[in-house]
């Protein structure tokens, strides 16, 4: 081969080389941390939770009685007593959290409660109740005072499987009134989730924090394979926009599925954070996070 030809081939290669390698490299996406707050009076105030700087989303847990003609009832355990107006002071704390860029959502459902809809109208009435009492609407009996929350989280684990998709649509419609209503969902990892399977297909959920715990088929068990396989199935659904790994914040926080922090940051996050759908990690709960110090160790590594 004559030197000129070799020179040309070499030049072309050197020019293309950076593009060839860049094409293969997708930079990892930075994730956020979502935390459940509200079910233990000894987990610090809401404003203190936000002031830690470790959380990007706070789910207030739980509004756990509603539907079927029941008077909706919020339960914030030892924090404050909603029926007597004891929680209206949370408004300034909610606004403080929002001023830090933290999204504050009201979480519906949970493991203990009584919630089901009897019809589409029942779901519609409840959506209006949520709008007027927790979101951008108005009512003279707002349990958390005047501050509008950023959205509603669905942690539906019992009762009827019907009409949750209607509730999502009605809530989303309120976004047209000038303030976006964010929707979150916390399905169990076995796919599809019994309660959230149909509602998620509306494509209206902004955040899906899957519970990869208390679910042996798809949780961490000393080996990340089952969890990663399940994550890949969830993330391949085109109606899911932002997906989070939901984990217990301490071994005692769940029956099974605890993952040591170094496994999360060293193995799981690197395996999933090149996906544009990667949203970060969700933890149950602030109380258990305080006990273990979990997110203190990982918040800048996810």
Please give the residue ranges that form the binding site for ligand NAG (CB under 6 A). 45, 47-48, 51, 67-68, 70, 93, 96, 114, 116, 223, 225
Phi, psi of 65 (to 5 degrees): -130, 120
Cα–Cα distance measured from residue 232 to residue 172, given in angstroms and rounded to the nearest whole number: 27
SS3 61: strand
Least Å from the CB of residue 108 to ligand NAG: 14
Cα–Cα distance measured from residue 163 to residue 167, given in angstroms and rounded to the nearest whole number: 6
Query: In 43-200, where does DSSP find H-type helix?
Result: 46-51, 90-99, 120-134, 164-173, 197-200
For residues 97 and 204, which CB has a smaller minimum distance to ligand NAG in the complex? Answer: 97
82-110: b (≥16 Cβ within 10 Å) or e: beeeebbebeebbebbbeeebbbbbbbbb
- 75: which DSSP letter? -
Q: Which residue is nearest to ligand NAG (CB)?
A: 68
Least Å from the CB of residue 117 to ligand NAG: 8
For residues 100 and 301, which CB has a smaller minimum distance to ligand NAG in the complex? Answer: 100
For residues 22 and 223, which CB has a smaller minimum distance to ligand NAG in the complex? Answer: 223
Q: Is 128 a catalytic residue?
A: no
Least Å from the CB of residue 243 to ligand NAG: 22
Would you give the end-to-end CA distance of the chain in angstroms?
Answer: 51
For residues 158 and 202, which CB has a smaller minimum distance to ligand NAG in the complex? Answer: 158
Cβ–Cβ under 8 Å, residues 103 and 58: yes
Task: Extract the tokens encoding 281.
Answer: 């990690």
Least Å from the CB of residue 233 to ligand NAG: 15
What stretches of 41-112 adopt beta strand conformation (E)? 57-66, 73-74, 103-110
Beta bridge partners of 153: 107, 184
Least Å from the CB of residue 119 to ligand NAG: 11
Number of Cβ within 10 Å of residue 12's Cβ equals: 10
Least Å from the CB of residue 83 to ligand NAG: 16
The active-site residue, picked from 43, 93, 157, 219, is 157
The DSSP code sequence of 218-234 is GS-SS-SHHHHHHHHHH
For residues 140 and 225, which CB has a smaller minimum distance to ligand NAG in the complex? Answer: 225
For residues 96 and 129, which CB has a smaller minimum distance to ligand NAG in the complex? Answer: 96
Chain Cα centroid distance, residue 159: 21
Cα–Cα distance measured from residue 130 to residue 145, given in angstroms and rounded to the nearest whole number: 13
Positions annotated as catalytic residues are 157
């Amino acid at each position: 081969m004559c030197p000129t030809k070799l020179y040309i081939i070499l030049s072309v290669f050197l020019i293309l080389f950076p593009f060839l390698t860049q094409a293969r490299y997708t930079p990892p996406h930075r994730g956020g941390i979502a935390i459940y707050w509200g079910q233990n009076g000894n987990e610090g105030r809401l404003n203190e939770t936000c002031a830690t700087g470790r959380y990007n989303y706070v789910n207030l847990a739980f509004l756990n009685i509603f539907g079927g003609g029941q008077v909706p009832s919020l339960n914030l355990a030892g924090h404050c007593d909603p029926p007597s107006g004891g929680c209206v002071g949370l408004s300034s704390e909610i606004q403080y959290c929002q001023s830090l860029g933290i999204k504050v959502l009201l979480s519906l459902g949970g493991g203990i409660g009584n919630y089901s809809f009897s019809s589409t109208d029942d779901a519609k009435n409840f959506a209006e109740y949520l709008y007027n009492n927790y979101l951008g609407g108005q009512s003279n009996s707002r349990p958390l005072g005047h501050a509008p929350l950023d959205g509603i989280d669905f942690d539906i684990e019992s009762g009827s499987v019907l009409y949750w998709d209607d509730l999502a649509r009605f809530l989303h419609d309120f976004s047209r009134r000038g303030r976006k209503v964010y929707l979150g969902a916390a399905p169990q990892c076995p796919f599809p989730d019994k309660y959230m399977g149909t509602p998620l297909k509306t494509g209206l959920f902004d955040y899906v924090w899957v519970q990869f715990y208390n679910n042996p088929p798809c949780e961490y068990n000393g080996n990340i394979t089952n969890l990663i396989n399940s994550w890949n199935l969830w993330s391949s659904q085109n109606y899911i926009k932002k997906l989070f790994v939901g984990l217990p914040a301490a071994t005692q926080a769940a029956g099974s599925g605890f993952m040591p922090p170094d496994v999360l940051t060293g193995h799981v996050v690197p395996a999933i954070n090149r996906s544009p759908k990667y949203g970060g990690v969700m933890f149950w709960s602030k109380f258990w996070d305080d006990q273990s110090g979990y997110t203190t160790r990982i918040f800048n590594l996810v």
